[in-house]
Structure 1
Amino acid sequence: MTISTQLLGPPAVAGKPSVNQPETNPLPSGEPTVDSLVHQTKTLDLTGTTTKPPMGLTENLSPTFLSTGNPCLDFFFHIVPDTPPDELIQRLQSAWAHDALTALKLVCNLRGVRGTGKSDKEGFYTAAFWLHNHHPKTLAFNVGALADFGYLKDFPEILYRILEGLEVRKDAKRQRSDARRAKRRHKSFSRRRRGEDEDCEDDGDSGDESEPEVEKEEAKASQVIDKETARRLRKEREEAKAAAALHRYQTDASYRVLFDSVAGLFAELLKADVESLIAKQPNKISLAAKWCPSIDSSYDKATLICEAIARRIFPRETSADYEGIEEAHYAFRVRDRLRKEVLVPLRKALELPEVFMSAREWNSVPYNRVASVAMKTYKGLFLEHDKERFEEYLEKVKAGEAKIAAGAVLPHQIIAGLKDEDGGTVAELQWARVVEDFAKKGKLKNCIAVCDVSGSMEGIPMEVCVALGLLVSELSEEPWKGKVITFSEKPEMHLIAGDTLLEKTEFIRKMDWGSNTDLQSVFDRILDVAVQNKLSEDQLIKRVFVFSDMEFDDAASANFGALMEKYYSLNPEGKFNEAEQKKMFQSSWETDYEVVQRKFREKGYNKVPEIVFWNLRNSSSTPVAGTQTGVALVSGFSKNLLTLFLEEGGIVNPEDVLRLAIAGDEYKKLAVFD
């Protein structure tokens, strides 16, 4: 069956003559060849450089590596949600040059909502934007595989950002914020003016007593004109966007291949879903209908994606009704069929909460089918429009008679909802679901979290630290269950107090950190507790999760003060070449780790706790090199990476953990094509 790849656009655009302009970014047509799959079977290159990584100082003047020595591992460890786009792209370029396939897998790991993914949507969009500009075939030909990591809505969003610019969402958010501020200023000014007018003395005849009424009528007329002007301007903007999308499709081969791949994926899934619906097999229906842009939605108007999907589902040759009709009429009819015969019935079959909400059928919303992020977003509306039934559902969840989704919402997003209009009920229940789901997968045997609640962690990193630290404490087994350690010159082990999630998180936030983030003292404290409680080697802490921004005070040198005095007396600017650095920092982390081992052996312990350095803030500080044994380097705000540490096996080194993070079946579908 021949499928037309022609794109017409809305009538206002379709009627205009096509611009004859040479194609940009010419791309060979056709399917990827076997030769282009050579990268898929390439041996994973995580060896990095043979030289020792460069060294420098943390923000707190502690010696640190500035790289793991492996560009791919640097990307995995250093990219966090607050990493600026230009820095992300720079690290991605280095990783791609080192090992393209691994870099591609790390881009997908960045997006992954499930498995071991980091749920960093914005970071993924930045990386996808770079891929389109530099490796367009790799992005376009992997669309089907990429769908396994996030959700199908990612693809219309990527197309939209390619057309409008990477920063289009931030720009729009900034404009809305500016508009709100301007509106508030205008209201404040108007109130002051009215107050001044009322204070003015009446010196005689006020004139036309109907003047206020005249002013009101003039104001109404002005509002009508303003609305009409706004409507006209909005229509002009929409037509301009549609024309730009059509022009891009016609003249940019790289964009056209990506666009066609996205449209083809949606069409393929929707056709299969309709067949499942007809066969009365609703459990086989995907979420394609949920994430497919609606006809005349903002995505559709800006990208023209619905016409492309409709043409693939309803080709001309499938119906005699299409014979001889004009292209514009054909495009109109198949778009209408896409809405009526595909999207509407499939969305109804999926029982999407949004369908009932848009129809104002609040008493029919199936709360057990509300996704985790949607539940967090819409709970206020549920309380407003369906309070009794929604609260009844929450009571059933508490009693174990119903389930609440919590898979996609991040731990710090859950605790952020503790002070919402529902009194934190949804947050408490979602948190309990997260702990329950993890407990089914396994326990964190003999693990403890070290929480960095110092000043440099202020903001979202602090919230993530609190959430992940609490989660580790609740997943750990006795005697470490419910306990955390804070960074300090004299670290303390705390038993988290509180019966509710709110009380527990507040307790962690208020823990004393003593203006110090001394990692070495943490290990001394762990050893002291083990000796005091006469713990056996099996009861000893096996693994320490360090949730921090990696800006430690004294993580690599026992004689830090003397070292720094010598360092700056020799070079006031604090800059040395590699040879000088090696000479200066003789006490490396490996040596420091050996000191820790000796201390533990002296107390009768042959095992030393493994360390998981979990980076939460954009920084170049790197605690260890990529080959350091007994250590893992991970990052991000997602809980998913905890699954890597539920097994009984020990940590080999940071590069080994990276391999495990991208070893799932979904990663095996990825391939590099250019």
Structure 2
Amino acid sequence: MSSTAKFSSQTCTLPSLPELFDHNFLECLLPTTNGEEGFEWVNSSPDASVAGGSSELATLKAFKGLNVRSHKSLYRIDALLHDSWSEDPELTLRLIWNLRSIRDGKGEKELFYRAFGWLYEHHPRTAISNLQMVVAPVCQTSRGQSVPHGYWKDLLNILALVTCDEILDFHSRPGNFLRTYTPKNTFSLTKDALEDQTCRQRTKKQHRHHSRLVGKLAISEYRALYIGVARLFAERLRKDIQALDQLRSLDPNSEREQYRAIQQTISLAGKWAPTPGGSHDRVTNISTAICQLLFSTNENAGSDAIGPLPSIAPHPIPGDASNCTIYRSYYQRWILKPLRETLACPEPLMSANRWNEIQYSRVPSLCMARNREHFVLHDPEGFHLHLAQVQSKKRKFSATSFLPHELVAEAAEVQKAWDAAREEEYPKVAAFKRSIADQQLDDNAVRWWHLTSRLDWTSSFPNAIAVYALSESPVSLPEYDKTNVNPIFPSIALSLVLAYLTQPPFDSGFITLSETPTFVRLEGMRESVCLSDLVNDVLSLKVGGNPDLQAVFSRVLLPLAKEHNVPNKDMIKRVYIFSNMHFDHAAGIVTGPWWLNTTSETDRASRWEEIYSDSIVKAFEKAGYDVPEIVFWNMTGERTLRETVEDDLGRKGVRIMSGFSKEMMRSFWDEAQENGRQERLLKFIKDGDAVGVEGSDDEEEWMSLNVMPLEGMRKALFKTSYDGLVVLD
């Protein structure tokens, strides 16, 4: 569809929004009620944790339960968030942002949208006031760079989903804002008839969109959300345009340092800002609101005003359709276009067939993955040169958005394409396909190296080893479905990541969990080894059967440490178990199908405590080693009949994490952020009363109980990047 067609069919006007120009718009539209004036909430400091009896904390339950599996379970998401918020609002707010955080959390974008929808419905002031924390550069990378939890497009997605009434349930139908659906029954129409039908349908649809928008803007909560998103974009674009004006006055050669310093202050708001007539703008007209903030003169002009920028007229312009179109075209030509050129956005260059002008070091990781084959086809020399420079560390490489299991799935897919090329009938075609696959495998290997080497820069973390613990040995990898991830992908990926980071003599290897667990060393994995080769090596291993978790410690880990005379300070401190089984199955406490098991929860807990205390703990103490901490990582996806969310408060010495993000694993490792032992106020529920145990005889008993899951949640949620979140209602 051409831009002209978009503009001609879209009604781009807005009703009067006087609060748009008021920086106190939230108080005007959603004033504090009498009940909220004295509102107080429990301040969930990282030094406080409360647990009662054998019941699980609602916040901990939500932390574990809100994962990739819970996307489509609306009732479950609502119940978990409601109970968690009732227990601790601030911690729940951190938990919601943790779902989105690419750097410090789970990176579950759609699950975050769903959780934000719950927050917007029940606590709109809190939801809207914290929108800026999605895009604020509050996360720190290993190189000292500041990056946001999400990206600017999240704001537009949230607004569009709320506008389309899909924020609480965007999985219920095949066609929705996030997943467009095109009917395939138009083949019987002629080209002219199809164009005419499409034009009429487009006009009717845009009229429906505008009518719905006008109705939504009459609702105070929606109007506050709408204005909040518009002001965030307008404020950031104003700053970026000012920085761009400074760049134009500098010589990039003679004033290089100053030029680069100013260039780095320009955000990605210009890239993701709504394009007039684009998908987000068609349902929200948000471009018009941003234009009004940037260009319109208003009665609130002053230190808090966003605009006006130098515009096409020094006087107020009426907000009719014709003038709104002028505003929007000016905004696209003089705001978006120069910012996107400065940011070196690859999409305009790809559309214009200017492939050799693409700066591959500026291409985002997801864009690189989706268009890698196009880069190879249209600019093979430039792309190959980029990969060579990355491998020689002459160029930086962006792989932040990729999770380890995604790279494993990609390597397997490309390897299948390479193998299929051998069956090609025509030799030249086969050679061409193999050459493309070779470059794709090289690119995949570079990104895997970047990911592992980046984690290797962590300043301090306990020695850890992986246990690869699937219920059965896979013959080959299944088809990868990013909306329904098979547990084998993250299990293999995280086992490889941990094998890369583990220190000698446990380096380059992990333990397989089976009837006879073994330590497997992958030779040369720290060298330039293709990731697909490593994946094939893992697939050849024997796992499953009747697993013997006790043997992992007594027959594998301890003998290996004794053989190499490993001192206690260098001994493994944590054992990560990556599995698709229930913990009791992995530990050998329960055999056979879970639903046929009749053993009580108490008996299973007692059996594990017997194994842990009488076998594992005594064996390590006898050998002079500290007992390693056991982390059972839930890898279960929707393909499994039963969700493996373990009640880990009943399993001594074990803690659990859910989600696939590499940063969730790093949250356990980043001990360097904690200088020494922090002063903690521990509350111990005993005989119905809370007793302070700091420095008392009860402290050792409390620490011997199962506080490790709480500690894991605390480390994940009390990073400084979440400190800006505030609860208002």
TM-score by length of 2: 0.74
Change (3 A) 1:47 1:602: closer
Structure 1 unaligned regions, length at least 5: 1-8, 19-25, 54-68, 187-218
1:552 is displaced (CA, Å) by 3.4
- Spell out, residue by residue over 1:303-361, the C-alpha distance to the aligned partner (whole angstroms, 9 max, x if none): 11111111111123446544464533442232222212211111111111223222221
1:453 is displaced (CA, Å) by 2.8
Correspondences of 1:520-669 after superposition (within 5 Å): 520-525=550-555, 526-554=557-585, 574=598, 582=602, 584-585=603-604, 587=606, 589-601=608-620, 603-617=622-636, 620-623=643-646, 625-626=648-649, 631-647=654-670, 653-669=708-724
| Correspondence 1:298 to 2:279 | yes
* Residue of 188, 192, 199 corresponding to 1:224: 192
- Equivalent residue for 1:51? 53
The alignment partner of 1:587 has SS state of helix
Matched residues, number: 594
Q: Is the 8 A contact 1:516 1:553 kept in 2?
A: no
Correspondences of 1:442-521 after superposition (within 5 Å): 442=459, 444-455=461-472, 460-497=486-523, 499-521=529-551
- Equivalent residue for 2:700? none
Change (3 A) 1:640 1:648: closer
Q: 2 CA distance for matches of 1:293 and 1:304?
A: 9
Specify which structure has the bigger relative contact order, considering alpha-carbon pairs within 8 angstroms and separated by 6 or more residues.
1
- Equivalent residue for 1:119? 107
- Equivalent residue for 1:289? 270
- 1:156 is matched by which residue type in structure 2? L
Q: 2 CA distance for matches of 1:531 and 1:633?
A: 29
Correspondences of 1:226-241 after superposition (within 5 Å): 226-241=194-209
- Equivalent residue for 1:191? none
1:146 is displaced (CA, Å) by 2.6
- Spell out, residue by residue over 1:368-409, the C-alpha distance to the aligned partner (whole angstroms, 9 max, x if none): 111111111111111121112111211222222222211111
Correspondences of 1:345-356 after superposition (within 5 Å): 345-356=338-349
- Equivalent residue for 1:156? 156
| Correspondence 1:269 to 2:288 | no
Q: Is the 8 A contact 1:110 1:118 kept in 2?
A: yes
| Correspondence 1:433 to 2:450 | yes
Change (3 A) 1:92 1:589: farther
The alignment partner of 1:171 has SS state of coil
- 2:345 is matched by which residue type in structure 1? L
- Equivalent residue for 1:395? 388
The alignment partner of 2:723 has SS state of helix
1:630 is displaced (CA, Å) by 5.1
Residues 117-126 or 162-171, more deviating: 162-171
The alignment partner of 1:401 has SS state of coil
1:671 is displaced (CA, Å) by 1.0
Which of 1 and 2 has greater Rg?
Answer: 1
- 2:379 is matched by which residue type in structure 1? D
- 1:139 is matched by which residue type in structure 2? A
Structure 2 unaligned regions, length at least 5: 1-6, 17-25, 136-147, 248-261, 299-307, 415-436, 479-484, 678-702
Q: Is the 8 A contact 2:463 2:502 kept in 1?
A: yes
Q: 1 CA distance for matches of 2:514 and 2:636?
A: 19
Q: Is the 8 A contact 1:269 1:288 kept in 2?
A: yes
* Residue of 145, 149, 153 corresponding to 2:133: 145
Change (3 A) 1:647 1:137: closer
Change (3 A) 1:347 1:16: closer
Q: Is the 8 A contact 2:355 2:375 kept in 1?
A: yes
Q: 1 CA distance for matches of 2:217 and 2:47?
A: 37
- Equivalent residue for 1:381? 374
Q: Is the 8 A contact 1:37 1:672 kept in 2?
A: no
Residues 80-89 or 171-180, more deviating: 171-180
- Spell out, residue by residue over 1:580-629, the C-alpha distance to the aligned partner (whole angstroms, 9 max, x if none): x54x4561644543224543246422411112222222565454544977
- 2:456 is matched by which residue type in structure 1? A
- Equivalent residue for 1:260? 227
Residues 437-446 or 472-481, more deviating: 437-446
Q: 2 CA distance for matches of 1:349 and 1:10?
A: 30
Q: Is the 8 A contact 2:605 2:650 kept in 1?
A: no
Change (3 A) 1:491 1:175: same
1:451 is displaced (CA, Å) by 1.6
Alignment RMSD (CA, Å): 3.5
The alignment partner of 1:669 has SS state of coil
Q: Is the 8 A contact 1:520 1:555 kept in 2?
A: no
Q: Is the 8 A contact 2:655 2:708 kept in 1?
A: yes
Q: 1 CA distance for matches of 2:364 and 2:38?
A: 39
Q: 2 CA distance for matches of 1:573 and 1:452?
A: 20
Q: 2 CA distance for matches of 1:406 and 1:178?
A: 32
* Residue of 48, 60, 66 corresponding to 1:79: 66
- Equivalent residue for 2:215? 247
1:17 is displaced (CA, Å) by 10
Q: 2 CA distance for matches of 1:665 and 1:441?
A: 17
- Equivalent residue for 1:63? none
Q: 2 CA distance for matches of 1:71 and 1:243?
A: 41
Identity %: 29
Residues 136-145 or 513-522, more deviating: 513-522
Change (3 A) 1:431 1:44: closer
- Equivalent residue for 1:358? 351
- Equivalent residue for 2:86? 97
Change (3 A) 1:238 1:246: same
Q: Is the 8 A contact 1:376 1:426 kept in 2?
A: no
The alignment partner of 2:660 has SS state of coil
